[in-house]
Amino acid sequence: MAGNTGVTAPAGFSAAGIAAGLKKSGKKDLALVVNTGPEAIAAGVFTRNKVHSAAVTVSRAAVADRETGVRAVIINSGNANACTGAQGFADAQAMQAQTAHALHLPPAAVAVCSTGLIGEPLDMGTVVAGIESIVPQLDTTTKSGEDAATGILTTDTCMKQAVYHGAGWTIGAMAKGVGMMAPSLATMLAVITTDAQVDAALLHDALAGVSNTTFNTVDIDGTTSTNDSVIAMANGASGTQPSAEEFTAALHAVCADLAQQLQGDAEGVTKVVDITVTGAATDEQALEAARAVGRDNLFKCAMFGSDPNWGRVLAAVGMAPVDMDPGNIAVWFNGHQVCAHTTGVPGAREADLSGAHIAVTIDLGAGGSGHATVHTTDLSFNYVEINSAYAT
């Protein structure tokens, strides 16, 4: 199992990834992850966008049905099956039913994810043929996990996997896209597998909590996708039951690893930018303030230009609807203070931001101990390029 860092790393999970023909490029565009048991515990977190894919509706229901559990996740890339009306919903259900049929499972045991262009009908002939082709490819090898991790990519430049090895149990995972609740392109998807013995309540609570502090703090451009889905499956195959604390910490490590990979592969990224806010009244206010800076285009362009224009930070954070002392805000770039008491520190304009990673720390001076970090990127020519002709 050495070197297996993906969804097939835990015992009792198989996977496959193929080129079904949905992508014109001929790249892999269909992935399947199967839980061979014994248990079929599942949890999921999904987009909060009111306009969402039929796949999200289907998967939400599958995860909510704790009696049946989830035994498989079928994922296509190249088409989001969002804004496709009643036909789109029927297609998502057909993907679920077809996969269930091929795996001899009840339909409710299959979750469905789609990612790609919004508003195009899914080519169901290709999808159905793909499902027939992918099932025989299922395997527990490292390569099978990598094939699946490749099959879910869209504009990602590399696959994202993560693994955690406990004492006798393992968590494996794969992801694509950028930023749960705030993805760069159409979708952030993740599938997490574990052979630990955990119950549904623990898996749900751990996933919800961990997502808030990992995927939900990756915020590339504030856009929430129609398809965001994180699905975790636990089968108890290891026969080992970690404590809730141990499992949650492990899940956090895996999701934080994936989140960092998503941030680093965001569209057009030339710099990853971590924004930490301290001195806030509450952690929630700190997060709100950090998001306001992370989403500010003027700030993001300045980062692209390695321009230590700390005034952009002040102008952005001043818009956040949170408590602050407008005369007592402090800012650090890469640990060097550039602003104190809301005014520039001598030498602030000479701060060196030429590296590929920029850490910005902002103290709101509100006297509280609230703090939070948001993970974003710069705004580059390439971001504009990629997103100026996505559909055409």
CB 142 within 8 A of CB 3: yes
Task: Check whether 387 is labelled as a binding-site residue.
Answer: yes
In angstroms, the CA 266 to CA 118 distance is 19
Residue 305 touching a copy of itself (CB under 8 A): yes
Residue 354 touching a copy of itself (CB under 8 A): no
Residue 347 touching a copy of itself (CB under 8 A): no
**Rg value, the chain, Cα:** 22
Residues in 30-59 at the binding interface with a copy of itself, rule: CB under 8 A? 48-52
Q: What's the token pair of residue 389?
A: 């002709």
Residue 290 touching a copy of itself (CB under 8 A): no
* Residue span binding a copy of itself (CB under 8 A) among the ranges 12-20, 25-33, 159-167, 336-344: 336-344
Judged by CB under 8 A, the residue of 131, 262, 317, 358 near a copy of itself is: 317
In angstroms, the CA 75 to CA 309 distance is 43
Residue 223 touching a copy of itself (CB under 8 A): yes
Residue 88 touching a copy of itself (CB under 8 A): yes
Question: Strand pairing partners for 78?
Answer: 116
Residue 348 touching a copy of itself (CB under 8 A): yes
Strands 189-194 and 229-234: parallel
Residue 276 touching a copy of itself (CB under 8 A): no
Active-site residue numbers? 187
Cis peptide preceding 121, ω within 30 of 0: no
Judged by CB under 8 A, the residue of 144, 197, 309, 376 near a copy of itself is: 309
In angstroms, the CA 211 to CA 107 distance is 27
Total residues binding a copy of itself (CB under 8 A): 69
Quick one: which H or E segment has residue 278?
strand 272-280
Cβ of residue 304: shortest distance to a copy of itself, in angstroms?
5
Q: What's the token pair of residue 303?
A: 């980062």
Residues sharing a CB contact under 8 Å with residue 46, sequence separation 6 or more, in sequence order: 52, 56, 59, 60, 228, 229, 230
Residue 288 touching a copy of itself (CB under 8 A): no
CB 56 within 8 A of CB 36: no
- DSSP label of 137: G
Judged by CB under 8 A, the residue of 193, 226, 229, 248 near a copy of itself is: 226
Angle at 32 between CA 155 and CA 154, to 5 degrees: 5
Task: Check whether 392 is labelled as a binding-site residue.
Answer: yes
Residue 315 touching a copy of itself (CB under 8 A): yes
Task: Check whether 176 is labelled as a binding-site residue.
Answer: yes
Q: What's the token pair of residue 56?
A: 């999200």
If the CB atoms of residues 142 and 187 are measured against a copy of itself, the closer one turns out to be 187
Residue 297 touching a copy of itself (CB under 8 A): yes
Residue 81 touching a copy of itself (CB under 8 A): no
Task: Check whether 57 is labelled as a binding-site residue.
Answer: no
C-alpha atoms less than 13 angstroms from C-alpha of 188 in its C-beta half-sphere = 36
If the CB atoms of residues 147 and 267 are measured against a copy of itself, the closer one turns out to be 267
Question: What residue has token string 């099932």?
Answer: 135
Cis peptide preceding 326, ω within 30 of 0: no
Residue 380 touching a copy of itself (CB under 8 A): yes
Binding-site annotation, residues: 154, 176, 187, 267, 387, 392
Binding-site annotation, residues for substrate: 154, 176, 187, 267, 387, 392
Binding site for a copy of itself (CB under 8 A): 48-52, 80, 82-85, 87-88, 117-120, 184-186, 221-226, 295-298, 301-302, 304-305, 307-312, 314-319, 324, 326-327, 329, 339, 341-344, 348-349, 379-381, 383-392
